[in-house]
Amino acid sequence: MKKIIKVWGLVMAVCLSACHSGPVVTRSVGFAYEVLVVMDLAQWQGAMGEAVNENLSAPIPYLPQPEPCMKVSYTQPSEFSGFLKLVRNILIVDVNPDLYTKVSLSTEKDTWASGQVVLRMKAPNDKAVVDYLAEQPSALTDYFSQVEMDRAVSLLEETYSSFVMNILRTNHNLELKVPEEMEAYKDTTDFFWTTNNANTGRMDIVVYTFPYTSKETFTPEYLVAKRDSVMKANMPGSFPNSYMATEARAGVGYSAITVNGKYCGVMRGLWKVVGDMMGGPFVSHIRLDEQNQRIVVVEGFVYAPETNKRNYIRRLEASLFTLRLPGEMEVADKESIK
């Protein structure tokens, strides 16, 4: 019964989307950060299915409550037809000792619908899959999470708040594409803040800059201290002497990635309001503006005590990837003209 309920919820979403698209469905359907797993029923109910499900459903770090990376639905191969083949994210697990000697992953795009990704996992036996996922516990989630992040960035490249974009271009000499519903803002010389002011699922983005004087800037200790000083000065709470700060008890995560060919620090953690009961997750991108020898920090944070926060914080994180610094804006403009 558990299996039927899982698939039925997904089928309902697919059918509703299909009804609005006419008799022929060409676009993929379903919701962001959801994946349909296709494998033999006995395997799904055994150790291999448990390993796959745990991999996809692993909790996301630096959220105030546990939330899975992906919402997982399941169907067996004999039922994988019709609307189910239009789902946006599909994992097909094929176990065959006559064809495979080790676990391998391959990807496909637009197999049965446009905008769709299919990840195929091939293995000689169940144990090989269990061992593979034990050694690479984020193999599946990393792939589907990156696909969804790329989709969100692409959407923001086309649909964003031109109001916020114009302010950042004019006053701060940078570009950032934030969700189009963000209109309320605060702007000072080195600090900018915008929000959707939503009653449910409030999303905020801040941009602040400061001179680059040391390589020690790109350390979590320095960046947390800088964040706390900037937020205390610019993000007061509702009560006297209340202000935003980093939740030190939860710790912060720091990693390095490459954005537009340049170093980018990524910081994740939880925020709180000193003197109040508010809090939630945040994610920051920290980059060096070489032309102006300044550090540019773009950060998204979420306040949604009444609901899950995964999709909100990931939508804001997608926005951070659209940051363009001086020198990059001109390149983007030339590419858009081509």
Domain residue spans in the chain? 2-154, 159-337
The confidence score (pLDDT) of residue 306 equals: 83
Kindly give the interhelix angle for 139-158 and 310-320, rounded to the nearest 10 degrees. 60
- Measured CA to CA, the distance from residue 43 to residue 52 in angstroms comes to 10
Q: Is residue 83 a contact partner of residue 19, using CB atoms and an 8 Å limit?
A: no
The confidence score (pLDDT) of residue 330 equals: 66
Dig out the tokens for 291 from the structure. 């032309």
- Measured CA to CA, the distance from residue 42 to residue 46 in angstroms comes to 6
Kindly give the interhelix angle for 126-135 and 139-158, rounded to the nearest 10 degrees. 60
User: Could you report the per-residue pLDDT of 44-75, keeping only the tens digit for each?
Assistant: 999 999 999 999 999 999 999 999 999 999 99
Mean pLDDT, the chain, integer: 91
Q: How much is the average pLDDT of 22-35?
A: 80
Dig out the tokens for 113 from the structure. 């619908």
The confidence score (pLDDT) of residue 19 equals: 45
Q: Global pTM?
A: 0.88
Pick the closest to residue 319 from 226, 195, 185, 235 (CA basis). 195
User: Could you report the per-residue pLDDT of 225-243, keeping only the tens digit for each?
Assistant: 999 999 999 999 889 999 9
Residue type, 87: V
Dig out the tokens for 324 from the structure. 């363009």
For 159-337, CATH gives: 3.40.1000.10
Instruction: Kindly give the pairing relationship between strand 34-38 and strand 89-95.
Output: parallel
The confidence score (pLDDT) of residue 17 equals: 45
